Chain A
């Protein structure tokens, strides 16, 4: 079995216009980039838009990636900046588009309702965190990133990333517990 290409190899091929290399980079880093975008936008559709924009932007400016081995962190920084810009310029949506998760539960309305309630509670609890704490806890607990990678994406040290994670978890559990009790 051929070893997987490294980020540096894929970036070099992307710079030459290799579509397969670009798709491989997208597959490898989409979820983490999405988590970063979601932490800021807190909306699936907006997070997807920001994530896509960030990846295209990264492709257009591929030569500016000074350390191709850390392409993921560089991409995360782009996504974070674009998310903040998009959040500032965001128009209020009057209706929410149906998400696949919502339609998937259409056969079981009770389950769909329960999912929606849990989602609403999680979103409300996440609102109590700072943007950095949200990004850290999503990147770590949802996407499985290391503190070193998270630090490079959000712009903090590994130690600070750990502190943000512990603080975020504590605050979320407290808020979720309050909601359950309340």
Chain B
């Protein structure tokens, strides 16, 4: 056999035992499959979680919408607090006059003169 022919002719490696008889091959494949079961189970679990979320997407969206609506309503109801704050401020002013010992009627008349002076009118009659 010349060099060129020998280079193109495959060699027989069956004697190496690398050929793996059928029974041995099946046993090796089964062993690999057993070793991979934990990882496969983990993957199946991850897929199951995603599937549950997809299956329950409408109820989940509905609950989210309700929660958002409730939050908005709570926010809107909190708006009257600002007028309550203004009432508190006027009440605070009256309270200050009383705290200083100024009779309430006198405090009111002073406030009335002050407002009239500001507008250019006269209280005198």
Contacts and interface: CB of A to CB of B under 8 A. Distances in A.
Given A23-B33, A52-B28, A17 B17 contact: no
Interface of B is mostly: helix
B17 A44 contact: yes
Interface in A46-103: 47-48, 51-52, 55-56, 59-60, 99-101
A163 B10 CA distance: 14
Contacts of A170: 3, 6-7
A122 B44 contact: no
Interface residues of A, number: 44
B18 A34 contact: yes
Interface residues of B, number: 36
Given A17-B43, A52-B35, A138 B6 contact: no
Contact of A169 (B7, B29, B37, B46): B7
Given A26-B32, A104-B21, 10 more contacts: A14-B43, A30-B20, A38-B16, A47-B18, A48-B28, A56-B36, A56-B39, A122-B16, A142-B18, A169-B10
5 contacts: A14-B40, A27-B29, A30-B28, A31-B20, A169-B7
Interface of A: 14-19, 22-23, 26-27, 30-31, 34-35, 38, 44, 47-48, 51-52, 55-56, 59-60, 99-101, 104, 115, 118-119, 122-123, 137-138, 140-142, 165-166, 169-170, 172-173
Interface of B: 3, 6-13, 15-21, 23-25, 28-29, 31-33, 35-37, 39-47
